Structure 1
């Protein structure tokens, strides 16, 4: 019953996911200042959530969806008023928490911030913080160091507030035990059915009833508006197949890019690292020089000395071994020194931002030039890709113009660009989601909308060339059209009569079943041929349909046997005879603790939602619906 939260181990993390989508956080100071009226989507207290802040949050949310869904991402489906309001509400929640943290004077010291950054695994190298990796990560995100640290400081501040709320939920042992007993309860029940089919002969439906149902439910018998279309796809992939690459081009490319096909030299090294813990570089360097003299006196004992003297937690227990690495993978000072050594040679004392190193080179993998024949397939693929990308860029505008200017046919565009005119099956204007995969490229909502536009339907004109995916344009035209229409009664009367008979038979089965149920519940004689006993457990697969299982678990079992009845989806009426209810003799302690954590998480989520609601109640929050709608444009 706690599957939804089973994998969430930290309450604070859950809350941060709920309210901190990966938007750029705007420090508390920016919350308190700025924001012009009128164009801002929302105000929180005396602060504004600006259009710029909303747009940045919205873009980042769309980028997340695009990454998560890949080819299934549809901008029209993601860009809804509800989705935009959800993003704005998340920003409002962030702002409320930031203002509350500011008022409570919560903050993060410079030392705590430095320690947190130093412990981020992706910013470490060989178990120690890497400034090079830090700078590279910031560069990849387009952030400066002050920007990132301000954002992180804000995030850590919010965690303090969120954690204080989330960790306040307490769960009584008795409550956990009660949940576990309910979860582990087993009920032994037998079944007896009143099949609807056995009453079908008694069910009668006259023509008037059929006509009445048809008139009252005309929408059920509508054929949808639909069309068949022909279409042409211009894509970089299609143009790729048309590209031919000459041997001379391959050779010229290889000669001009030989460095690309050369595996880099790799070196293996071990090191002894002394950290400057006392902030006394001279003292630390002197200690490193003393160890260097010891190594020079006994070179064969380098690994032994590293195990006992190196302060690098990632490599000391391995005798200082760092494995193989290419140039540029280590910090510059270490890198330069390692690539100057000969195999087996030991460096002098090398200073880096981590401290003082003594490096021993223990292996060399020389670089290797791959031959032309070896890399020919890669070069051909690269040249084709470049040529097709160039052709697509050149062809896209001409293709778009041609399908627009010669709107009565797709053939001229197809012939011009060496494409094939494809023909679709019937396409509904408003297809069911499960039908869309069969539509192929025509399942793109923008293209379907264009295909069923008045001009396309009435005049059979080409749609515009519509981009349905990166480097993929599609133009289509209607070749056959059928408007939505009601199917005649004569066509559907047999279907209606059958359905009404089934409904009547189900009603008679229910009537008979309920009469027998009432008799049994009053203590009447039980002569039913019950099925074999089935075990109903919330922890095991159910032996009956969900509706039946719910009825069995809801049956009052103060006195056994207990009887309960339910109508099943197929129209049958089923009686269940609950003969035994059992509870576990002992509660597994490990499972009890797991349930307690999960229950605590649920309570904490409720508390946090109530906390946010209280913040909203005591803070003036206004949403500018017009500004939010304007941001959509």
Structure 2
């Protein structure tokens, strides 16, 4: 038996089999069979060797290709940056669900892939970023400048306050990578140009004038012909996506509305005490119109961060005192006070005691037009400007009684609102799966909403913050109560999803009438288009005027139209200018669907713009716009073309 085994394993066939087994061991190594490998990349870029750019992507030549992985950490960093940017841009309208969609995540990943491709391209072509270019780029960053010039101390201080802190070397490496990512695309974009001939032609087209005749066709009679069951079935099958019920939720909620709370009773003793406080704060009753710039400092800020904020406030104060300085513009560009930033820092008229202590003391010690800062408060550092001073006369107690009572009642209502809201939140957190026990304990009412979609509904369902919370995964899946949602001043709600219906296809029996209406509407649309086609065909043979007269329709003329003409309508003018010019003595005609009805039109005359009337400045502006647009198109085309030289694999399940 052993002799037979030896004979079977010593022939040429056995030798060939052994040779085939050696190949994978040579490429993979024994460790590939002895250990497991877990891939964590979100995208893998395979690049052919530089000495064989056309190397095929086939085994075993693929082992010559260079592999570049984009790992999950780099992707998550890019994703978080995009999330923060979108939140800042969209504010309350930010839609977390839309941002987390697979389509949006893939779009963000594609930008990261493109950046990595540009890095590979620069390395492949042996392009380097010099130290001088890095230094120049850093020197242009405004945050590192003092009085318009780069400041080394400020540069190092701000890097140390990053989370996590950065060294100059690591920041310079990051800047170098960014310059390398952008080097080739930006140079391609900057290389775009427009010739004088191209510019002249474009200006003639943009300033073109047209004379048009047109006919508005009446809507055809409503379709009342029979619709068979087979037609209904076929339409429903072909347009199934149109007959879906959208995703809906239904809520229960408890609201605390400060305006509906009973005002507290105010006695004379409290009124007199308040009056004496007012007199002590502002004996003369002076008022001041004040603007400010706030450089916010977080409560847990480090000493370095506090010093940086103070330095920035001092710099802004110096800039505000400079001759001709625009305080409002500085506030809009730099203030961290979201309430006054858009108004140029304007806080309106203030009475003594209307602001925190140090701010109040400074403002009421200043002269009209004076700028003072930095002034420290619990919120950070302020630069203060007194715009106007209004001298006042102290009012008597009886004159101020109504205002004092209103102020005390408002303060008492605010306190009652805050206390009630706090108690409600505490009670709900003890039993987050129902609002009823907490509401009952506090004498509040649990209300419900009708089912509504992501576009909103009546009442609180129209508030964007309520919509975001209602359609969040946590509330829809867990059935627990939300955190308090502020939907207005002293107006808060807590909500809980009590019913959730995902998007679903509606059965034919339920939408039969809608299907029949859609078929009738389609027939009516086709009839309208057929009538327009018939008129257009007749007009091409004998002219629009004759064809319209034969059909009993009126022709209207629109002369000397330009691209921005508002009449007969923006849609119609766009259709007129999309029509090619007449050639070979043929009439230039077209049709368009305008506002639900068809229009047939004829281009009677075209006149180019007189470019001799265009100023040099207008030519320069147009040249820059076209060059920029052309450059961006060339840049995008280069990036798309670069993808063809690489093999890119995306791990969709890791996004």
Instruction: Give the TM-score category using the shorter length.
Output: 0.5 to 0.7
Scaled by the length of structure 2, the TM-score of the pair is 0.56
- Report the Cα distance in structure 2 between the residues aligned to 1:108 and 1:390, rounded to whole angstroms: 59
CA shift at 1:231, angstroms? 0.7
1:148 is matched with which residue: 171, 176, 198? 171
Question: Which stretch of the first structure deviates more once superposed, 464-473 or 112-121?
Answer: 464-473
- Report the Cα distance in structure 1 between the residues aligned to 2:111 and 2:229, rounded to whole angstroms: 53
- Report the Cα distance in structure 1 between the residues aligned to 2:67 and 2:518, rounded to whole angstroms: 62
2:353 is matched with which residue: 368, 375, 379? 375
Are 1:38 and 2:39 an aligned pair? Answer: yes
1:602 is matched with which residue: 609, 626, 629? 629
- Report the Cα distance in structure 1 between the residues aligned to 2:252 and 2:98, rounded to whole angstroms: 25
Are 1:426 and 2:450 an aligned pair? Answer: yes
Are 1:531 and 2:556 an aligned pair? Answer: yes
Are 1:403 and 2:431 an aligned pair? Answer: yes
Indicate how the Cα distance of structure 1 residues 480 and 106 shifts in structure 2: closer, same or farther if over 3 A, else same. closer
CA shift at 1:189, angstroms? 0.8
Query: Where do 5+ consecutive residues of structure 1 fail to align?
Result: 1-35, 252-324, 335-372, 457-462
CA shift at 1:378, angstroms? 4.3
Spell out, residue by residue over 1:291-338, the C-alpha distance to the aligned partner (whole angstroms, 9 max, x if none). Answer: xxxxxxxxxxxxxxxxxxxxxxxxxxxxxxxxxx999947xxx9xxxx
Secondary structure, aligned partner of 2:539 = helix
2:128 is matched with which residue: 97, 106, 109? 106
Question: Which stretch of the first structure deviates more once superposed, 390-399 or 76-85?
Answer: 390-399
- Report the Cα distance in structure 2 between the residues aligned to 1:238 and 1:40, rounded to whole angstroms: 56
Secondary structure, aligned partner of 2:39 = coil
Are 1:137 and 2:155 an aligned pair? Answer: no
Scaled by the length of structure 1, the TM-score of the pair is 0.57
Could you say which residue in structure 2 is the equivalent of 1:260? none
CA shift at 1:521, angstroms? 1.3
1:194 is matched with which residue: 208, 211, 217? 217
Indicate how the Cα distance of structure 1 residues 442 and 504 shifts in structure 2: closer, same or farther if over 3 A, else same. same
CA shift at 1:136, angstroms? 4.2
Indicate how the Cα distance of structure 1 residues 67 and 490 shifts in structure 2: closer, same or farther if over 3 A, else same. closer
Please report the RMSD computed on the Cα atoms of aligned residues, expressed in angstroms: 5.3
Q: Is the CA contact 1:210–1:497 (under 8 Å) kept in the aligned structure 2?
A: no
CA shift at 1:182, angstroms? 2.6
- Report the Cα distance in structure 2 between the residues aligned to 1:415 and 1:128, rounded to whole angstroms: 64
1:566 is matched with which residue: 591, 595, 603? 591
Indicate how the Cα distance of structure 1 residues 608 and 51 shifts in structure 2: closer, same or farther if over 3 A, else same. same
Question: Which stretch of the first structure deviates more once superposed, 500-509 or 170-179?
Answer: 500-509
- Report the Cα distance in structure 1 between the residues aligned to 2:71 and 2:500, rounded to whole angstroms: 49
Secondary structure, aligned partner of 1:141 = coil
Could you say which residue in structure 2 is the equivalent of 1:291? none
Could you say which residue in structure 1 is the equivalent of 2:482? 465
CA shift at 1:159, angstroms? 4.3
CA shift at 1:43, angstroms? 3.2
CA shift at 1:157, angstroms? 4.0
Q: Is the CA contact 1:185–1:537 (under 8 Å) kept in the aligned structure 2?
A: yes
Are 1:413 and 2:432 an aligned pair? Answer: no
Are 1:183 and 2:191 an aligned pair? Answer: no
Query: Where do 5+ consecutive residues of structure 2 fail to align?
Result: 1-36, 46-65, 278-309, 319-350, 361-376, 380-410
- Report the Cα distance in structure 2 between the residues aligned to 1:624 and 1:502, rounded to whole angstroms: 45
Q: Is the CA contact 1:551–1:566 (under 8 Å) kept in the aligned structure 2?
A: no
Q: Trace 1:69-218 onto structure 2 (pairs within 5 A).
A: 69-103=90-124, 104-109=126-131, 112-142=133-163, 143-196=166-219, 199-200=221-222, 203-206=223-226, 208=228, 212=232
Q: Trace 1:61-72 onto structure 2 (pairs within 5 A).
A: 61-72=82-93
- Report the Cα distance in structure 1 between the residues aligned to 2:420 and 2:159, rounded to whole angstroms: 34
Q: Is the CA contact 1:451–1:478 (under 8 Å) kept in the aligned structure 2?
A: no
Are 1:581 and 2:587 an aligned pair? Answer: no
Q: Is the CA contact 2:588–2:602 (under 8 Å) kept in the aligned structure 1?
A: yes
Secondary structure, aligned partner of 2:204 = helix
Could you say which residue in structure 1 is the equivalent of 2:652? 625
Secondary structure, aligned partner of 1:205 = coil
Are 1:514 and 2:542 an aligned pair? Answer: no
Q: Is the CA contact 2:245–2:505 (under 8 Å) kept in the aligned structure 1?
A: yes
CA shift at 1:468, angstroms? 6.4
Spell out, residue by residue over 1:241-284, the C-alpha distance to the aligned partner (whole angstroms, 9 max, x if none). Answer: 99x9x999xx9xxxxxxxxxxxxxxxxxxxxxxxxxxxxxxxxx
- Report the Cα distance in structure 2 between the residues aligned to 1:46 and 1:389, rounded to whole angstroms: 61
Indicate how the Cα distance of structure 1 residues 209 and 605 shifts in structure 2: closer, same or farther if over 3 A, else same. same
Indicate how the Cα distance of structure 1 residues 480 and 327 shifts in structure 2: closer, same or farther if over 3 A, else same. closer
CA shift at 1:196, angstroms? 1.4
CA shift at 1:195, angstroms? 0.2
